[in-house]
Amino acid sequence: MKNRIKKVAIILLSLVMMVSFAACSNAKADDTESKEVEATTKVVTDSLGRQVEVPAEIDSVGSLGVMRLLTYMDAVDLVKGGTDMDNVQVLTRPYTLVNPNFASLTQIGQGGSGGIVPFDEEIVKLAPDVIFVVSDYTQSDELQAKTGIPVVAVASPGLFDGKMSASMDLIGQVLGKEDRAKEVNEYMDQAQKDLNDRTKDIPEASRPSVYNGALNFKGKHGFDGTSGNYGPFVAINANNVVDQTGQKSAFSIDLEQVLAWNPEIIFLNPENMDLVNEQYTQNPDFFNSLQAVQNNKVYTQLAYNNNYTNMEIALADAYYAGTIIYPDKFKDVNIEKKADEIFEFLLGEKLYAKYTAAGQGFGPLTIGK
C-alpha cells in the first residue's frame, strides 16, 4: 500500500514539474517574442525635437532636401525617391554629379528656393521605410500622418555652423551607419581645426581686407551680391569688410559702400561673371577705382549655396581663400589636390577637373573681360 502511494506521489510530482517546465518555457518564449517585436523598431529624436519611431532595419529611404547629406553618409543605395532638384546634374550641386542614376529617381517632392513641397500620393506609392526631410520644412507631423510613413527632420548645416555633427549622427542612428557618421564628423572637425590653427594668431594689422561678391542667393547676383558672416572667410579668420554692416547672411550691398571700403582682395563667383561684366560695361570707373582691380587681386570663390549648402565646395573655398589671403600660412596646400581630397572623402569621387573644364576652377579673374 505504501509503495503504491509512493508511486502515485512520484507520478504527481513529475506531472507538476512537467507543467511548471512547460509554463516556464512558454513564458521565456513569450518574453523572447516580445523582445523580438520590440527590436523591430527604435525611437530617434530628430532635429526638430520630435520623437519618431522608425524601423530597426531600413531598406529604402525617401529624401526631401537631404540627398546631399545621404551622399556624405554613403547611403544613396537606399534612396528610392527625391525632389526635382536631385534629378539634374549641375556643378553647383556636386552630389548630383556623383549620382547620375538620380536622373531617373522617382520624384516625391519639389525642392529649391521655394521650399519643400511633398507629393503625398507619390510617397505613399513608393512606400519607403522612412522619409528624411530638411528641418526647414516644419510640417513633418502632418506629412507623417498623411502617408503613414515615419518622417525624420534633419537640419541642413552650413560650413562649421555647429549643425553638421548632430545631423550626421541622426542619419547614422536611423540607418545604422554610426561609424560613417563618426568618420565624417572627425574629418570636418579636423579641417576646421586646421584652418583655424593656420590663421588664428595672425595680428589684425596683418590681415588684408577682403570682399566677396557675385554670390548666389535666391537666384544669381552681380558684384553687389555679398554676405556677412561668410563661412569660408569665418573659417580662416579673414577680415571681411562686409562684416562691418552687422549682416549675418547674404544680401545686396550698395556699390559706393564697397568703394569706400576699397578692399585689398576681391573674390567673385565665376559662374556669375557675365553679370559682373555687364555691371562693368555700365560703370567701368567704379571697378577701375578699386585697388584690388588695379593690383590684379581678384580671385574665384565657387558657388556653394544651391539647394542648401554644399559642404565640399564651401570647404574647398576656405582653403583656396587661405592660399590667397595668407600665402605663407598655406604654402603647403595644393588647391587642386586639396579640393579633390575633399570631394573624394565626402562624395566618393574626385571632381575638380569638371570645374576647371567648365571654366570654374580656382584662380585669378579679370573683371570686364
Q: Kindly state the average pLDDT of the residues 299-317.
A: 96
What are the C-alpha distances in Å from 211 to residues 46, 124, 237, 263?
Answer: 37, 48, 13, 6
Is the per-residue pLDDT at 93 higher than 50? yes
Q: Kindly state the average pLDDT of the residues 156-181.
A: 97
pLDDT grade for 114, boundaries at 50, 70 and 90: confident
Residue 44, all three cell numbers: 530617434
HSE, side-chain direction, 13 A CA sphere, residue 323: 19
- Model confidence pLDDT, tens digit, residues 13-53: 454 444 444 444 454 445 444 444 456 999 999 999 999 99
> How much is the pLDDT for 2?
44
The reported pTM is 0.88
Q: Kindly state the average pLDDT of the residues 76-82.
A: 97
Least confident of 7-16, 98-107, 108-117: 7-16
Least confident of 16-30, 116-130, 144-158, 164-178: 16-30
> How much is the pLDDT for 165?
97
β 151-154/298-300 pair status: unpaired
> How much is the pLDDT for 38?
52
Distance between CA 41 and CA 353 in Å, rounded? 44
If 0-12 CB within 10 Å is exposed, 13-18 middle and 19+ buried, where does residue 122 land?
middle
> How much is the pLDDT for 113?
80
Percentage of the chain lying above the pLDDT 70 cut: 89
- Model confidence pLDDT, tens digit, residues 193-249: 999 999 999 999 999 999 999 999 888 999 999 999 999 999 999 999 999 999 999
> How much is the pLDDT for 369?
82
> How much is the pLDDT for 39?
66
Q: What mean pLDDT value characterizes the chain?
A: 91
HSE, side-chain direction, 13 A CA sphere, residue 182: 4
